[in-house]
Structure 1
Amino acid sequence: MLKESLPYYSYRDYLTQRYGEPLFRVPIDLELGCPNRRPDGSGGCTFCPENGARAVQTLDVSGTEAQLAAGISFAKRRYKARRFMLYIQAYTGTFASVIEQKKKYSELLEAYPFDAISIGTRPDCLSKATLEYLEELNKTLDVFVELGVQTIHNKTLERINRQHDWQASLDAIAALKAHNIKVCAHIIVGLPGEDREHYIQTVKTLASLNLDGIKIHNLHIIKNTQLAKEYLAQPFPVMDEHEYAQILIELIRRLPPDLPLMRFATDTPEKEIVAPKWHMSKGQFSEYVTEQMRLRGYRQGDLFEAGNEEPQSLMPTVFECKDGSYTFWNEMFRDYYHPRSGARKQAAELFLQESSLRERLKNGPVRLLDIGFGMGYNSLLACEMAHSLALHPLEIHAVDQDRRVILQSADIIKNVLDEKLAWALILKELYKNGIYTSEYFNISLHNSDVRYALEQQKGEFDVIFLDPFIERSNCRMVTLELFKHLKKILKSDGVLVYSGTHTASLSAMADAGFCLTAAGKPKSDIHGIVAKHKGPSLECKNVLPYRDPYGVWTDRKIRQYREEEIKKQQH
């Protein structure tokens, strides 16, 4: 099976294309200091730690020779690295006379046959002599300069004590380009006082400057920094994993498709972080962002130019159910999206009938939360019902990660179904704009991880549909923590209809305080569970439920944790 390409242009891919294989960076601290610090090392940018953001693998190593040996050994051991790039990382790599720069760089470049050098520095620390030296050095090996831009907003730059303005970054980029030196920009998402619009403005501006790379990471508030003191005195919002992923994806989509993305998460040691406290590793976060972009059909650059957003192709196998409706075969999970007796039949007999939706719409307005929107049958049949009754409005909040399926579903419905309502039109509007409004119903599509989507919801719901497809593969949708949340947002006379009967899911629902009854006819492949706040309840098997204590674990992590807990019980 061919490996699916990343939805963004990774720095690793760029280096592989340029050098035939990836170069691994060897970080070095030349102890050159920073022009924004006092002679005793105090002062500086409010977010910067005392060690000048030195690499984790060399934190306890002193001397450039020892750092060099440690960095190369680490990369060979961990990544099987064969070729390397020298990375002047900590503090300001050009804060010295040209004579000293030449001496220090030459010593390192002579110690090992590096293919390239990357120098981290400030926009206000590139003298004419430095630029000329780097231009000359660039004739013998590739030179990259990584500029700490952080943001284009002067108010923020002043707030974090950068001691330079945006114009300084603009001038530095132009000067480096004029000397044929490759330039990469570093930016921070989440700086105090900034919001989504600030981040987008920063990225859109940098995207227009013909950069050679960009590094994005979320704000880390590190111990013993000025920013940490400010945060502890008066906390300000910081981003959790889902929040940062949401805005990061927006930013990646606005980058040129050929701009290498050097990284989008940082790895400050846990013991040094004041906030945010994450429960995803950097690798897990990278996998999560990649997963979310693929599921939503997004890729780097699809918002860079107007009209550049094209749907990412998905070629599912179409299957005709016994009731004449159509469903898809999911190759990854090796199963159909719906029971063979019918997608429409399941929507009508399980979700609409067991929720008493018709009676509820006759009595007043209904708020419905549809988790696992998928091809849309459950919500669309509910809309048909509201439309035909023409009595009270139906407000649907639909949640699904996989935006691609919605577009494919629209094509299938358009081609083979003749519905009372224009289902294909509704689905295409949801795919494009995330909302569809009619006289007696409206649907809002929340295209994200269910846990993040639920955090954004306001108010209570009369009806909740929960259709996780295959529980074990989507166990983030059936954890004890998720069911506790659903119980909080379900009205006292509300109902939750669930399409599965997995014992771990039932155990989680019961532990969350729901009263459960079985739904479905004997010998039918359409079955599920009806959950309410009060009433008689099934006797559930005493099995361990799926757990997600921090609300960010991957499905794999949730499964692994449960399996480990079961083993502990057995021993």
Structure 2
Amino acid sequence: MLPPLHPDLRFHNYATYLRRRLGETAVRISVDGGFTCPNRDGTRGTGGCLYCNNDSFTGGILFPGLPVEEQVLRTIASPGRHRAARRLLVYFQRYSNSYASPEELDRRYRAAFSHPDVAGIIVGTRPDCLGPGVLDVLEEIARERYVSVEIGLQSISDEVLAGIGRGHTVAEFREAVRAVRGRGLDAGVHLIYGLPGDTRENFLAAADLLAELDVQGVKLHHFHVVEGSGYEKRWRNGGLQVPEYGEYLSACVEFLERLSSEVAVLRLMGAAPPELLLAPRWEKGSREMAQDVAAELRRRGSWQGCRREGDRRGGAE
């Protein structure tokens, strides 16, 4: 049975997925797990991915550097923090959050449950940081709590991945997702539209790959240039293009039409602090992006999954 699509959005939004998966509404809180990355410490590379300045997309972490349990408690108690849901998911977001010994991972992950409202954890990581020992830890926690693993892919082209300095291949990504799903864990995937050397066709074809691998969620980001990244100098010298808003909106809509309706849409655009963002500057937020995507789907008379064989409906439910 196909999952119901949000009647206003016409796609499978994350909030709906979590309600179905957990039985009630849940929201994320982000923490700094104190990890680094094999693409920075010399294991796979030293400079990190060329588009990356970790400070540009971890602004939701309110108390970086503190012990995980203290971050959770302080974040929940922060003045003015709106609790839209009783259940919380702790998102290990900064760098590669499964890059440590199994013993250390177990300690840090379990520290997230320092508050009774925490229902589970979300671990953002790379395909090359999900060995058997890591998965043993996550599988054991998943016996009692919700566990989701978000894996950065970014592009389905090995040439593009090499060009941006990712330090892994598409084959490694496939293997990692299969390993995660083989343990009964939810798998999410991160993709970026408009990376240097990539194509619209590659971005759209990624929707088919996600269905093949049985992932539960996808985060879509547009390529943007931030201060402190490996692409800053090239952009300042005029040697780098970034996508236009209309182009990206159109690509997202086509992607959703090809994406299985069983896959939840965790995010539709990237974000960076204004003081770090160089380009593009769209003056649009994630809520406006979701509204624009929904409006375009309505205009086209389409919905998530409408182009997939076996995923047909008479319209959004």
TM-score over 0.5 for the alignment?
A: yes
**Is contact 1:222–1:275 with CA below 8 Å preserved after alignment?**
yes
Deviation at 1:149, TM superposition (A): 0.9
Match for residue 135 of structure 1 among 139, 151, 168: 139
1:296 equivalent to 2:300? Answer yes
Residue 197 of structure 2: SS of its match in structure 1?
A: coil
Matched with 1:12 is 15
Matched with 1:165 is 169
1:236 equivalent to 2:240? Answer yes
Give the partner amino acid of 1:289.
Answer: V
Counterparts in 2 of 1:105 and 1:274: CA distance versus 1, 3 Å: same
**Count of aligned pairs between the two proteins:** 309
**Is contact 1:213–1:262 with CA below 8 Å preserved after alignment?**
yes
Matched with 2:3 is none
Residue deviations 1:453-474 (CA, integer Å, cap 9, x gap): xxxxxxxxxxxxxxxxxxxxxx
Counterparts in 2 of 1:70 and 1:235: CA distance versus 1, 3 Å: farther
How far apart, in 2, do the equivalents of 1:65 and 1:102 lie?
A: 13
Counterparts in 2 of 1:74 and 1:147: CA distance versus 1, 3 Å: farther
Residue 24 of structure 1: SS of its match in structure 2?
A: strand
Identity %: 29
List alignment gaps of at least 5 residues for structure 2: 1-5
How far apart, in 1, do the equivalents of 2:77 and 2:216 lie?
A: 28
Residue 116 of structure 1: SS of its match in structure 2?
A: strand
1:30 equivalent to 2:59? Answer no
Quick check: 222-231 or 150-159, which moved more? 222-231
Of structures 1 and 2, the larger Rg is shown by 1
Counterparts in 2 of 1:306 and 1:139: CA distance versus 1, 3 Å: closer
How far apart, in 2, do the equivalents of 1:206 and 1:75 lie?
A: 39
Counterparts in 2 of 1:105 and 1:267: CA distance versus 1, 3 Å: same
How far apart, in 1, do the equivalents of 2:93 and 2:217 lie?
A: 16
Counterparts in 2 of 1:179 and 1:57: CA distance versus 1, 3 Å: closer
1:282 equivalent to 2:282? Answer no
How far apart, in 2, do the equivalents of 1:89 and 1:65 lie?
A: 15
Residue deviations 1:493-531 (CA, integer Å, cap 9, x gap): xxxxxxxxxxxxxxxxxxxxxxxxxxxxxxxxxxxxxxx
Counterparts in 2 of 1:90 and 1:245: CA distance versus 1, 3 Å: same
Counterparts in 2 of 1:175 and 1:312: CA distance versus 1, 3 Å: closer
Match for residue 21 of structure 1 among 14, 24, 30: 24
Quick check: 236-245 or 144-153, which moved more? 236-245
Counterparts in 2 of 1:50 and 1:285: CA distance versus 1, 3 Å: closer
Matched with 2:271 is 267
How far apart, in 2, do the equivalents of 1:138 and 1:280 lie?
A: 37
Matched with 1:182 is 186
**Is contact 1:153–1:166 with CA below 8 Å preserved after alignment?**
yes
How far apart, in 2, do the equivalents of 1:133 and 1:306 lie?
A: 36
Match for residue 158 of structure 2 among 154, 161, 166: 154
**Is contact 2:25–2:87 with CA below 8 Å preserved after alignment?**
yes
Residue deviations 1:2-22 (CA, integer Å, cap 9, x gap): x94420000100111222322
Give the partner amino acid of 1:286.
Answer: A
Counterparts in 2 of 1:137 and 1:311: CA distance versus 1, 3 Å: closer
Deviation at 1:36, TM superposition (A): 0.5
**Is contact 1:76–1:82 with CA below 8 Å preserved after alignment?**
no
Match for residue 45 of structure 1 among 35, 46, 49: 49
1:209 equivalent to 2:213? Answer yes
**Is contact 2:194–2:222 with CA below 8 Å preserved after alignment?**
yes
How far apart, in 2, do the equivalents of 1:185 and 1:257 lie?
A: 15
How far apart, in 1, do the equivalents of 2:100 and 2:79 lie?
A: 28
Deviation at 1:131, TM superposition (A): 1.0
Give the partner amino acid of 2:229.
Answer: T
Deviation at 1:203, TM superposition (A): 2.1
**Is contact 1:121–1:146 with CA below 8 Å preserved after alignment?**
yes
Match for residue 255 of structure 1 among 259, 268, 279: 259
Counterparts in 2 of 1:310 and 1:74: CA distance versus 1, 3 Å: farther
Deviation at 1:278, TM superposition (A): 0.9
The 5 Å alignment of 1:108-147 reads 108-147=112-151
**Is contact 1:120–1:146 with CA below 8 Å preserved after alignment?**
yes
Matched with 1:224 is 228
How far apart, in 1, do the equivalents of 2:140 and 2:40 lie?
A: 30
How far apart, in 2, do the equivalents of 1:207 and 1:7 lie?
A: 18
How far apart, in 2, do the equivalents of 1:307 and 1:50 lie?
A: 37
**Is contact 1:241–1:285 with CA below 8 Å preserved after alignment?**
no
Give the partner amino acid of 1:22.
Answer: T
The 5 Å alignment of 1:145-544 reads 145-305=149-309, 308=312, 310=314
1:102 equivalent to 2:100? Answer no
Give the partner amino acid of 1:219.
Answer: F
Deviation at 1:51, TM superposition (A): 3.4
Residue deviations 1:157-199 (CA, integer Å, cap 9, x gap): 0001011110000000111111111111111111111121111
Give the partner amino acid of 1:193.
Answer: G
How far apart, in 1, do the equivalents of 2:80 and 2:186 lie?
A: 26
Q: Normalising by the residue count of structure 1, what TM-score does the alignment of the two structures yield? A: 0.51
Residue 115 of structure 1: SS of its match in structure 2?
A: strand
Give the partner amino acid of 2:36.
Answer: G
Q: Normalising by the residue count of structure 2, what TM-score does the alignment of the two structures yield? A: 0.90
1:57 equivalent to 2:88? Answer no
Matched with 1:72 is 76
How far apart, in 2, do the equivalents of 1:312 and 1:210 lie?
A: 22
Counterparts in 2 of 1:7 and 1:50: CA distance versus 1, 3 Å: closer
**Is contact 2:62–2:71 with CA below 8 Å preserved after alignment?**
no
